[in-house]
Structure 1
Amino acid sequence: MAKKREKYFDPYIFYTTITLVVIGIIMVFSSSYVQAKFKMNDAYYFLKRNVIYAFMGFFTMMFVSKINYRRLEKFIPLIGGITVLLLVAVLTPLGVSFNGAKRWLGIGGLTIMPSEIAKFASIIIVSKVIENKKDKIGSLVQGILPPLLVSTIFFALIVLQPDLSTAGTIIMTTFVMLFVAGMDFKYVYSMIGAGVGLLGIMIAIAPYRLKRLTSFLDPFKDPLGDGYQVIQSLYALGSGGLFGLGLGRSRQKFFYIPEPQNDFIFAIIGEELGYIGCIFLLLLFLFLIYRCIRVAINCPDTFSCMLVTGITSQIGIQVMINIAVATSSMPVTGMPLPFISYGGSSLIIFMAAIGIVLNISRYVKLDRS
């Protein structure tokens, strides 16, 4: 049973999220206006849409923050069913293809990305399953496999799009949730081994994934092909130096980095705002994660603890992957930077997830001074 509700949510989480979103709006415009003017004949094309998405995300976040998180339990079958239907629909003619992948769903004039919804639908469902199985979490069959089965269903449907990176974050987030819930260490090592083996198989059966891996190991072997984006990203980060070239003065956004407002926006941030700007952004993410962890530690029940743990893990994992790709520390994945990269589905869903954390923080005694 939840503790007495506090009047206010955690202001640090709220204002840090808003700060990240504002930085995202500024950097999306700065990185996109050149290509938007050329491709769309409107330099403000991405800015206008991103501002709309931000307002939609804000109102969604505030609305969700006022709803008792326990009410989510009643809608778990609906959340799971709708998410699975959307993921299946992507694989039908309703799915919208881009760069050889079917990850979007066209409904009327709207385009949504069901895999973004699946990230947090999985967290909600897995949180409830773990709460129901918390006394059996030491058992492989009764405690660990049930939540893994949930995330595996989403994993399989997303891999078919194909989108291995998003599918992988769902499994990794579930792993973190199980670990926090008290999973036995012998299963931790087994799951890591199984994950590495599965990744090897997924790479082996898809030639394009193997090409991405080899181009990551030496991007300059194919500077105009698979290594192109990473090389341009490194040029951008290197050009920025300590203090950057100045806001709006990136050179790599002039058609060197394709769609710089998306997956490689961190490279533009590094080029324009320098090492100092990158560190500031990382500190904001770290502070957000720290405050969320504070909430998770003090949660009144297992369900809320798992919700906050899952949401925090998803944000942290995605930030690490995006920055690792931009700095050539791992192969290109197509993973956006939360709150920063352009994309309506991602921004609205992540802000809604923060709304859940804000609501849970109302039931947690934290130092808000």
Structure 2
Amino acid sequence: YIMWLSSYLARHARDVTDFVRGLLPPVMVMGLLFGLIMLQPDLGTSLTLAGTGVLMLFAAGARLTHLAGLGVLGAAGVFVLARIDEERWSRITTFLNPWADPTDSGYQIIQALLAFGSGGLFGVGLGESRQKYFYLPERHTDMIYAVLGEELGFIGAALVLLLFFAFAWRGYRIAIQAPDRFSSLMAAGVTSLITLQAALNIAVVTASIPSTGIPLPFLSYGGTSLVITLSGVGILLGVSRFCRN
């Protein structure tokens, strides 16, 4: 989707401010992919895809009023999708008060917060996490950041967060300095995809947003995720070779 959208927006640069001729086709494709992923169902990946698309449209010069309208419609759609599904709605109510059901729906996020609390400032030591021994569910995928926070403490967790900020800054800088529109949008799309995944994962683990299953790029277990992420980094490096500065 990132490659196609970059090509489309590069070829229709003059139409990007026109909703019907410029934005409607990519939004329709985005909606189709969103729906297919939701059939799994996987709301987290669907939101990542939609967010990446919107950021690419912004980078291409789409009008803020159009994007704001899409944002309002998207937020309403997500609310409806969450409200009609009992499991998704329970995640929202659990987010508001995980201690209301500490042995079932709130168990995972409470254990994640206990991991951060146990880590303190400097952590319990690399590889010395206690929460990963059958206390914290999905500790090797969705909740890997909590284990990292326990083992390396606030200092280590903050350092990882700063590294993702540095990745986003460098990625968008490459997009700004890219030699052509297609390369610029590709760099912006790849950077947005990886950064949004990291932001969603860390927000979920720190109980900042309702729970949704998203891996942490570069750190979560999963060969496919790592291959795709590193392929995106390869694209960024390829674009950076031809940057103007």
Q: Structure 1 length normalisation: TM-score?
A: 0.65
Alpha-carbon distance in 2 for matches of 1:149, 1:124? 16
Match of 1:298 in 2: 177
Alpha-carbon distance in 2 for matches of 1:224, 1:230? 11
In the TM superposition, 1:210-225 aligns within 5 A as 210-225=89-104
Match of 2:127 in 1: 248
Offset, 1:330:
0.9
For the 8 Å contact 2:179–2:244, the answer to whether it is kept is no
Q: Aligned pair count?
A: 245
Question: Which of 177, 180, 184 is 2:56 aligned to?
Answer: 177
Alpha-carbon distance in 2 for matches of 1:292, 1:316? 10
Please tell me the residue identity of whatever aligns with 1:310: G
Please tell me the residue identity of whatever aligns with 2:236: V
Q: Which has the larger radius of gyration?
A: 1
For the 8 Å contact 1:126–1:151, the answer to whether it is kept is no
* Structure with the larger RCO, 1 or 2 (CA within 8 Å, 6+ apart): 1
Question: Which of 269, 273, 279 is 2:148 aligned to?
Answer: 269
Offset, 1:207:
1.0
For the 8 Å contact 2:142–2:216, the answer to whether it is kept is yes
**Match of 1:322, SS?**
helix
For the 8 Å contact 1:292–1:312, the answer to whether it is kept is yes
For the 8 Å contact 2:218–2:226, the answer to whether it is kept is yes
For the 8 Å contact 1:126–1:150, the answer to whether it is kept is no
Match of 1:143 in 2: 22
Question: Which of 325, 335, 340 is 2:219 aligned to?
Answer: 340
Question: Which of 342, 356, 359 is 2:238 aligned to?
Answer: 359
C-alpha deviations, 1:164-216, integer Å up to 9, x for none?
A: 11011111110001011111121122011111111111112211100111011
Offset, 1:292:
1.0
- Unaligned stretches of 5+ in structure 2? none
Alpha-carbon distance in 1 for matches of 2:204, 2:66? 29
Offset, 1:259:
3.0
**Match of 2:233, SS?**
helix
Offset, 1:285:
1.2
Alpha-carbon distance in 2 for matches of 1:225, 1:123? 38
Alpha-carbon distance in 1 for matches of 2:22, 2:157? 41
**Match of 2:17, SS?**
coil
Offset, 1:131:
1.0
Please tell me the residue identity of whatever aligns with 1:274: G
Offset, 1:136:
0.6
Please tell me the residue identity of whatever aligns with 1:273: L
Q: Show structure 1 runs of 4+ deviating over 3 A.
A: none
| Superposition CA RMSD, Å | 0.9
In the TM superposition, 1:24-39 aligns within 5 A as none
Alpha-carbon distance in 2 for matches of 1:300, 1:251? 49
Greater alpha carbon shift after TM alignment, 123-132 vs 266-275: 123-132
Match of 2:162 in 1: 283
Please tell me the residue identity of whatever aligns with 2:223: G
Offset, 1:283:
1.5
**Match of 2:52, SS?**
helix
Indicate yes or no: 2:33 matched with 1:154: yes
Alpha-carbon distance in 2 for matches of 1:149, 1:345? 27
Identity of aligned residues (%): 45
- Unaligned stretches of 5+ in structure 1? 1-121
For the 8 Å contact 1:129–1:146, the answer to whether it is kept is no
Please tell me the residue identity of whatever aligns with 1:234: L
Offset, 1:279:
1.1
Greater alpha carbon shift after TM alignment, 282-291 vs 240-249: 282-291
Match of 2:68 in 1: 189
Alpha-carbon distance in 2 for matches of 1:145, 1:350? 28
Match of 2:109 in 1: 230
Alpha-carbon distance in 1 for matches of 2:48, 2:205? 17
